Structure 1
């Protein structure tokens, strides 16, 4: 039911119009009355009517002035002006103010019905569009946290997902140039603390999110194991050292907030400010490294402070890429040798801290995870986090590297197998036609040269020999059938020249097609 306000200084006009509308559109409107412009404005403020029938000429505030004020207060209200012929120029001015239509006194039944049907139709369409918009906003509000989680997991686990980082960033309206990561690491030393943490995980996540987002514009990652990652944009114009101090201050605030609210011990690691999404992943790895470092003096640690004070020279990105390259080439020996070399460097730079060494190794393997597009990041963190000595850590890491290579090889073989299956199916359907290696290669989207090598490796013979074997096999079956002539059989199995067909048949079987048929006739008991 719609609210309809009738504003007219003559009660008889108001009541007559209401009676007419009730008759032509029963049970459609709740009616409101105003005897002057001031009252119309007051009712519009309080009741927010859907439609207003407004007389132009009323005592006090005139109809047009009332329209101006009501249009500001309730812009969605649709107003119809009611006027006599003498005030038609006023009606035109009303239309300029946004009045939807006008009626001349005395209003005829058909005109009123037509105007109301139009207004109702427009209002229903507006309501429909508004409901769709609200539903879309509701769905989007549910999608945003999922997109935020997806983005942070890609950065944390360094894995490539179907949805690209840029798409997620666009959905979240993120336009970061630089930023840094912060990792909150909850203590696992006390059994009670760990059990309490498990019970409070959801509450902790929500508390951290609401504490940090308004101040740092943080993208909050889910709790993975005992750690939670925060990714923060770099405020423009803030120098590097000032930003480091500010990030440490916020790390301490978060630590005090969590420990005060939940009575849980917390360490905070902060990575360097870096550019781009790859830089954010690297900053996260740095935060994980310093978070794992044993340090009784500091619960909040910045990567730049730790490396500067210890004189550490962490392994370079170029060294990491060389290891990744060996992995992608499936070279187990070179991968193991390169890892051992990097492991020795890490042992030398973090000799006093096993937990830091473990954090470095986990970070390195997470980098490899992303490089090979593996989704094993979470399992990797879980398995290596419980390792407690250097030799076991090295062996476990090497096992993971072996498994990466095995997975790559298996994936390659499966991919090749699928390609060959598609190619063989295509050849089986087309071998009776003028089929070529180039056509088959194009069908499976490979270059002819690579397809030829792959085909020979997996099938055991080259493309031409394989197609010829299929054709000769079919030709033998057709000869046995005795329904077709040898010339017809030649065309049926994909050859255009009977003489060429005869030569190919003889090369494959040792006899010509006609000799083959004669042998069959001799063997026949009839």
Structure 2
């Protein structure tokens, strides 16, 4: 039901209008009455009616003034003015205040019914739209955690695709320019400690989110293995060194919160401040590198502190790119040699901390994962995070590199096979026309030189030999049918010169077309 306030200084007018409406729309309204503008305002504030029928001329606060005050506070209430005179000035002012319609006294039954039907239809449409909006908000509220997890994983696994990332960031209303990553590494020194962590992992995840998000406005990633990542925006105007001190302080707060509440040891690694989403991925790698769960000196470590104290970064970006280049060239020997050299450097640099060495290797392989557009990052983290000795880590990492190269080779072969299948289908369709290798290469979007080499590798013969074989086989079939003359067959299979066709045919079959026809006729039992 709807509520309708009738405001009129004449009781008979109010009661007559109510009686009329009850008769034409029974069981539709709850009626409220006001004898003046002041009372109309008070009832509206207390009862919030859906509709108001307001008389313009009333003692005390006039109808238009009451409309002005009500509309200012409750713009969704639909108001209809009632007047005994058709005053244009009143109408103009009422429209400016948002009055929905006018009724002239004495209001006729049909006019009242039309106005009420219109108001009810509008109210129901507004209600429908509001319900749709609430349903959409509910769906979005369910999607937001999924989008946050997806965006975090993209940054963690370095699979930053600008289009997808922008869509996810837009859904989460994130407009970050600079930021850094922090990695929480939960202790797993013993089997029992690891089992205890698994039991409360979900609870820890939710607790950390509720502790950090209101204070840091951060993006919380899922727990992968024994680590959880936070991506934190940098407030504008804050210098780098000051931010480093603050981030370390927050690292200590988070560590204290987790250890006090769950009695689980925690170490925190913090990456340097970087620009853009790509920079956030690199900051995450830095945080993984310095996140040690068995470091005797510090439980909260900042990448900039580690690099400043050692005087240099552990592995240069140039070294990483050379390793990636060898990987992309599918050179297993060079890949193994370059990785081996880097692993030796890491072992010597982090000889006192296997956890840090493991973090360095995971970070390096994540960089390679992104470079080859692999989706194995999550499995890689889980696989290498479970290892506890250097030799197994080296062996497993090398195994991952081999699988990367094998995957790249297989992907290349599948891609080549797909391209050549398209090319062969095109040639089979067009060989009776004046087709060229250049046209076929353009059709599959390859350069003629590369297409020529790829075609011979795949088909086992050159492009010309393949097209010639198709044409000669078709010519032999048409000759056997005996429907067309040899000249017609020449044109039918794609040749423009019968003499040239005859020479090509003889080269392929050791007979001219006419000799081949005679040979076929001699073999015929008829």
CA distance in 1, matches of 2:6, 2:130: 26
Q: In structure 2, how many angstroms separate the alpha carbons of the residues matched to 1:135 and 1:440?
A: 53
1:490 and 2:490 aligned: yes
Give the aligned partner of residue 217 of structure 2: 217
SS of 2:229's equivalent? strand
Paired residue for 1:82? 82
Shift, 1:86, TM fit: 6.2
Aligned residue number for residue 372 of structure 2: 372
**Inter-partner Cα distance in structure 2 for 1:4 and 1:497:** 94
Taking the TM superposition and a 5 Å limit, the aligned residue runs for 1:183-332 are 183-292=183-292, 294-311=294-311, 313-332=313-332
Instruction: Look up the match of 1:182.
Output: 182
Q: Look up the match of 1:93.
A: 93
Hey, what does 1:400 align to over in structure 2? Answer: 400
Per-residue deviation, 1:316:
0.6
**What residue ranges of structure 1 are gaps of 5+ in the alignment?**
none
Find the aligned partners of 2:163 and 2:495 in 1 and give their Cα distance. Answer: 49
Larger mean CA deviation between 404-413 and 348-357 belongs to: 348-357
Residues 177-220 of structure 1 deviation map (CA, whole Å, 9 limit, x = unaligned): 22111111111113333222212122111111111111111100
Report 1:141-180 matches (<5 A): 141-160=141-160, 164-180=164-180
Please report how far the alpha carbon of residue 9 of structure 1 lies from its aligned counterpart in structure 2 after TM superposition: 1.9
Q: Deviations over 1:198-243 (max 9, x none)?
A: 1212211111111111111110000001100001111222222211
Inter-partner Cα distance in structure 2 for 1:113 and 1:189: 79
CA distance in 1, matches of 2:491, 2:30: 84
1:66 and 2:66 equivalent?
yes
CA shift at 1:504, angstroms?
2.6
CA–CA distance in structure 1, aligned partners of residues 50 and 488 of structure 2: 82
| Number of residue pairs aligned between Structure 1 and Structure 2 | 526
Aligned residue number for residue 15 of structure 1: 15
CA 82–410 in structure 1, closer or farther in 2 if over 3 Å, else same: same
Q: Residues 200, 388 of structure 1: CA spacing in aligned structure 2 closer, same or farther, 3 A cutoff?
A: closer
The whole-number CA distance in structure 1 between the counterparts of 2:446 and 2:109 is: 75
Query: How far off is 1:379 after superposition?
Result: 1.8
Find out whether 1:424 has 2:424 as its counterpart.
yes
Contact 1:181 1:284 in 2 (8 A): yes
Residue pair 1:176, 1:233 contacting (<8 A) in 2 also: yes
- CA RMSD of the aligned region, Å? 2.0
1:162 Cα shift? 8.9
Task: Tell me the CA shift for residue 399 of structure 1.
Answer: 1.7
CA contact (8 A) 2:186 2:293 kept: no
> 2:185, 2:293 within 8 Å by CA — same for their partners in 1?
no
* C-alpha spacing 1:232/1:502, structure 2 compared with 1 (3 Å): same
1:136/1:437 CA distance change after superposition, 3 Å: farther
Q: Distance in 2 between matches of 1:195 and 1:312?
A: 38
Instruction: Say which is worse superposed, 82-91 or 283-292, in terms of deviation.
Output: 82-91
Question: Which deviates further from its counterpart, 120-129 or 89-98?
Answer: 120-129
Mapped contact 1:160–1:373 kept (Cα < 8 A): no
Contact persistence 2:323–2:339 (CA under 8 A): yes
Q: Using the TM superposition, give the Cα deviation of residue 163 of structure 1 relative to its aligned residue in structure 2, in angstroms.
A: 5.4
Match of 1:390 in 2: 390
Identify the residue that residue 129 of structure 1 maps to in structure 2.
129
For the pair 1:440 / 2:440, whether they are aligned, the reply is yes
| Alignment check: 8 A CA contact 1:56 1:91 kept | no
Q: Is the 8 A contact 2:225 2:385 kept in 1?
A: no
TM-score (norm 2): 0.95
- Unaligned residue ranges in structure 2 (runs of 5+): none
Once residues 283 and 46 of structure 1 are traced to their aligned partners in structure 2, the CA distance between those partners, rounded to angstroms, is 56
* Structure 1 residue 133 displacement after superposition: 2.3
Question: d(CA) in 1 for partners of 2:449 and 2:21?
Answer: 82
Tell me if 1:469 matches 2:469: yes
C-alpha displacement at 1:118, in angstroms? 2.6
SS of the residue corresponding to residue 5 of structure 1 reads strand
What pairs up with 1:31-70 in 2 under 5 angstroms?
31-70=31-70
- Higher mean displacement: 185-194 or 19-28: 19-28
Q: Classify the secondary structure of the residue corresponding to 2:153.
A: helix
C-alpha change, 1:446 and 1:11, in structure 2 (3 Å) is farther
Measured in 2, the distance between the counterparts of 1:190 and 1:345 equals 29
How far residue 369 of structure 1 moved from its aligned partner, in angstroms, is 0.7
* Deviation string, structure 1 residues 274-333 (Cα, Å, up to 9, x no partner): 222222122111211221263224221222223333456411111111111111111111
Structure 2 Cα separation of the partners of residues 58 and 501 of structure 1: 106
Q: CA deviation at 1:80?
A: 0.9
Shift of 1:174: 2.0
Report which stretch shifted further, 41-50 or 53-62. 41-50
1:120-169 residue CA offsets vs partner (Å, 9 max, x unmatched): 33333322332232222222222222221111111111235695323322
Contact persistence 2:71–2:77 (CA under 8 A): yes
TM-score (ref. length: structure 1): 0.95
Moved more, 125-134 or 371-380: 125-134
Q: Note if contact 1:293-1:353 (Cα within 8 Å) is conserved in structure 2.
A: no
Deviation at 1:87, TM superposition (A): 4.5
